[in-house]
Structure 1
């Protein structure tokens, strides 16, 4: 399959278009390490400057800190110049007296707690609070977030509440975001979904989504935004101790990542560039959102995305057994 991944694409039939590269805003919520306010705003400014005006955030990210920082960075900018997505399913509340914040990987966060809430009122209240933190009247996309253990509530109340918001034009595109591609496949098959955000399951190292999710999306006309293209860092720097799925990478995967890097080096292509481009071999993929904790990281991701990658590199990866021969490749000729 030949598909140059440049230019905006529509998400399903929603009318919402996104650029192919976006900013995942979990780092703006102090994921694993604190990011200063000015640096966070510089990351957003850089994303806009390089044409990556597709911002994905969530209340979960830093207990609202990511949304607040993103809102401050976007204040005063023409709302038509960027696309904004957030998530519902985790409602935030103030801490009770004596209660401690559960960071869940985020540090130096506001004094709030997360509450799972898939009720109609909870979905609406969560979105309204997000809009206030973001300082906007509306977002373009809303995802139900990490619902794999809450499917009964999703079918009973969560998705109907989101579909109602779409019908009322409060939001334009709706879907689900998680790293369980099999669950996403079931939800896309059953429900009227515009877009899914799938993290880590369609990468140079993983084909899981190709086998379960992507065929359903192609059949249903559902778009895919990919996250986790570097598999938590293993495809960014495959050195000993590199993370994979938020834990040290198993030896076999580390070895495979190193072999991928060696082939890329033969063609003078950084492994990160190949990892960022690879998912676009499938036509259902509309965009990739990549996190950045510094403006230099955002600028690097943009440069990597536009890097020329010869078709021979992909064919060599297949010939070496590093990519399965049935996978669609992002060929340019």
Structure 2
């Protein structure tokens, strides 16, 4: 698999990344055996990049990933995790269903973007992962989409302390790259005024259906030597299942205008004999500032299928025909 270089740090990562939210039992239980087999198959087939977070299953995803990658030399993998939530044990349950994660670890989450909160979260993650350092540390879910009227308070926490903590960890060599992991690119634009970031992970907003990030922000990232990771290329399902099977869109039901847009994209895919899923995965990689596309995976078959779509040949004429559809208002 091809790799790309994070501009500012020089770190290398595979063009396809393995998202580990599913390892935290997102929406449904996933066995450790299935997840471990998937992670090992991904590594065997050239996927180096693995992303997790304390939020995923209340620490379950980090624990499982640490064990699954335990026998793979660290120099052969690139691991990112996140800060912004502290985990507190719920002493009255053995497993916990919370925020979409089922039968997960018995921990409650507390948003905390302070200096001390980031440092504690990072130390806890190292223990769950069983490592002494990570390749990338991302501040998780900062922004109005998550915090609404409390956004200003949490963003100020980050400005006053969280960003400083992340930069210190990078200076100490405990992390190689720092950035944000969010669902709205606009907060990345704002955060660039307060810290020197290496990379931003943007989920659900660098896709065939949502791409206003390309109007100005991709150029700004290139001009400032900041790299991007495009997560959730299927927009939580609809670009994987198509208009007939109607997968989720942004974690909910797809509205009619989105379904109509998917139908229009499918028509061009049929004209050029290109699969919708291949177009969804390869789209963001057409931008030089994008270093990896992160896809959630929970079993070996999904790993192998995603790589097939990633490797599917797509002619340039397809992208030219598609542009008026995906960039229309």
The bucket for the TM-score relative to the shorter chain is: over 0.9
Q: Which residue of 2 aligns with 1:331?
A: none
Answer whether contact 1:185 1:212 (CA < 8 A) is retained: no
**Per-residue deviation at 1:222?**
0.2
Q: Which residue of 1 aligns with 2:313?
A: 308
Q: Which residue of 1 aligns with 2:77?
A: 82
Residue 72 (structure 1) aligned with residue 67 (structure 2): yes
Answer whether contact 2:96 2:102 (CA < 8 A) is retained: no
**Per-residue deviation at 1:234?**
1.1
Q: What SS class does the counterpart of residue 234 from structure 1 fall into?
A: helix
- Encode CA deviations 1:69-122: one digit per residue, 9 max, x unaligned: 111111121110010000001111111558994510111101111111222222
CA RMSD of aligned residues (A): 1.7
Number of equivalences: 318
**Per-residue deviation at 1:216?**
2.1
Return closer, same or farther for 1:303/1:283 CA change in 2, 3 Å cut-off. Answer: same
Answer whether contact 2:136 2:176 (CA < 8 A) is retained: yes
Q: Which residue of 2 aligns with 1:116?
A: 111
**Per-residue deviation at 1:293?**
2.0
**Per-residue deviation at 1:140?**
0.5
**Per-residue deviation at 1:292?**
1.1
Answer whether contact 1:184 1:213 (CA < 8 A) is retained: no
* Alpha-carbon distance between aligned partners in 2 of 1:52 and 1:46, rounded to the nearest angstrom: 9
Describe how 1:289-308 pairs up with structure 2 within 5 A.
289-308=294-313
**Greater RCO, CA 8 A, separation 6+:** 1
**Per-residue deviation at 1:255?**
1.4
* Alpha-carbon distance between aligned partners in 2 of 1:34 and 1:169, rounded to the nearest angstrom: 36
* Alpha-carbon distance between aligned partners in 2 of 1:157 and 1:189, rounded to the nearest angstrom: 15
Return closer, same or farther for 1:215/1:190 CA change in 2, 3 Å cut-off. Answer: farther
**Per-residue deviation at 1:129?**
1.1
Q: From 22, 45, 59, give the equivalent of 2:54.
A: 59
Residue 19 (structure 1) aligned with residue 22 (structure 2): no
Q: Which residue of 2 aligns with 1:30?
A: 25
Unaligned 5+ runs, structure 2: 144-150
Q: What SS class does the counterpart of residue 107 from structure 1 fall into?
A: strand
Q: From 309, 315, 326, give the equivalent of 1:323.
A: 326
TM-score for both structures, normalised by structure 1: 0.91
Q: Which residue of 2 aligns with 1:186?
A: 190
Residue 251 (structure 1) aligned with residue 256 (structure 2): yes
Q: From 2, 5, 25, give the equivalent of 1:7.
A: 2
Answer whether contact 1:143 1:176 (CA < 8 A) is retained: yes
**Per-residue deviation at 1:295?**
1.1
**Per-residue deviation at 1:208?**
2.1
Q: From 281, 292, 297, give the equivalent of 2:286.
A: 281
Answer whether contact 2:132 2:174 (CA < 8 A) is retained: no
Q: Which residue of 1 aligns with 2:98?
A: 103
**Per-residue deviation at 1:45?**
0.8
TM-score for both structures, normalised by structure 2: 0.92
Return closer, same or farther for 1:297/1:100 CA change in 2, 3 Å cut-off. Answer: closer
The structure in which a higher percent of residues are helix is: 2
